[in-house]
Amino acid sequence: MQSVAIRVALAAVLGLAASAASAQTLNTVKSRGVLNCGSNGTLAGFGLPDAQGRWTGLDVDFCRALAAAIFNDPSKVKFVPLTAKDRFTALQSGEVDVLARNTTWTSSRDTTLGLNFIGVNYYDGQGFMVRKALKVNSALELNDAAACVQQGTTTELNLADYFRANKMKLKTVTFATSTEAVKAYDAGRCDAYTTDASGLAGERLRLANANDHIILPEIISKEPLGPVVRHGDDQWFDIVKWTHYAMVNAEELGVTKANVDDQLKSDKPDVKRLLGSEGKHGEALGLANDWAYRILKHVGNYGEVFERNVGQGSELKIARGLNALWTKGGLQYAPPIR
């Protein structure tokens, strides 16, 4: 199987390659001419190729923005679909340059896995989906239920914690991929399917009869999702981090894909610094000075990407909620470019 192959490959790579892929990720990416982006591949709204093989999603657009910043061409991305179980191994072994795959930021992943989270591009929390026919209105009524869950996720651990904390019994059936877990839930193997709330919204729409299923109100965990890079290459870490911040800052400043050319003539110092007509902020990152202009021109700001993939412009219709800008009651906040 692919997963085993990746892990054996990792063991071999770690064992035999004297130089681990640590520093100089930017140079590697530039000389390769394409960014390798670890993606979901099965999650609507975050990473999913359509019938024509064109990828869409919030995380997918993040990688496009990164490619735009580096190459001035958002199409220079190779999306590598990864399961939850294999994603960290693929990043550690250098198979991908960045992992943008709705990955929860936790302390152990940030420390013992040798990875760095660049920030949070989606604030999420874990929820449950059940059949309407069960007449369950709260997750607290799920004592003794069977839950289908995807392996290698924080979901697996939160689920056990939640049931333990509430003194409820649980039967967990664990599957290697979310596709298999949802299929088993749909076939009646489990009473509930659990994953991040955003994922539930996407999976529900892919079920045969979406209206037979409801998402329970409880959110049982904090799931700050963000892109991840390898520990040890600070330059690359900065580039990926500021790609996200540039998109958030652009939304705050009102710079959009449509008006970015007009904004080049703006007098506002913040906008001038963002778009590179003032200061050397891009060059300090090791990129061209108009790096943020490229991102906005090709991909758009954070709000546009959000609405297009998971918000009102998508079939998921998720409200901004925690992901609104800090100026609008949400948590998305970016340090200033100066």
- For another protein, the closer CB: 53 or 188: 188
Give the ranges where 48-106 is alpha helix by DSSP (H): 58-71, 87-92
Quick one: which H or E segment has residue 143?
Answer: none
Provide the minimum distance between the beta carbon of 238 and another protein in the complex, in angstroms, as a whole number: 17
- For another protein, the closer CB: 184 or 316: 184
- For another protein, the closer CB: 180 or 238: 180
What distance in Å separates the CA atoms of residue 105 and residue 89, rounded to the nearest whole number? 16
Provide the minimum distance between the beta carbon of 19 and another protein in the complex, in angstroms, as a whole number: 9
Query: Of the candidates 292, 126, 137, which has an alpha carbon nearest to the alpha carbon of residue 198?
Result: 126
Provide the minimum distance between the beta carbon of 172 and another protein in the complex, in angstroms, as a whole number: 4
Round to the nearest angstrom and report the end-to-end CA distance of the chain. Answer: 48
CB 33 within 8 A of CB 76: yes
Provide the minimum distance between the beta carbon of 142 and another protein in the complex, in angstroms, as a whole number: 8
Provide the minimum distance between the beta carbon of 90 and another protein in the complex, in angstroms, as a whole number: 11
The backbone region for 222, taken as left when phi is positive above 0, alpha when psi lies in -120 to 50, beta otherwise, is beta
Quick one: how far is CA 59 from the chain centroid? 5
Quick one: how far is CA 14 from the chain centroid? 26
- For another protein, the closer CB: 7 or 272: 7
Instruction: Give the footprint of another protein on this chain (CB under 8 A).
Output: 1, 3-4, 7-8, 10-11, 14-18, 20, 22, 84-85, 88-89, 92, 108-109, 111-114, 134, 142-146, 151-152, 156-157, 159-161, 163-164, 170-176, 180-181, 184, 187-189, 191, 230-232
Provide the minimum distance between the beta carbon of 219 and another protein in the complex, in angstroms, as a whole number: 19
What distance in Å separates the CA atoms of residue 117 and residue 178, rounded to the nearest whole number? 23
- For another protein, the closer CB: 161 or 262: 161
Quick one: how far is CA 215 from the chain centroid? 21
What value does the CA radius of gyration of the chain take, rounded to a whole number of Å? 21
What distance in Å separates the CA atoms of residue 229 and residue 235, rounded to the nearest whole number? 11
- For another protein, the closer CB: 89 or 301: 89
How many Cα atoms within 13 Å fall on the side-chain side of residue 211? 0
Provide the minimum distance between the beta carbon of 160 and another protein in the complex, in angstroms, as a whole number: 4
Tell me how crowded residue 133 is: count the other CB atoms within 10 A of its CB. 8
- For another protein, the closer CB: 83 or 314: 83
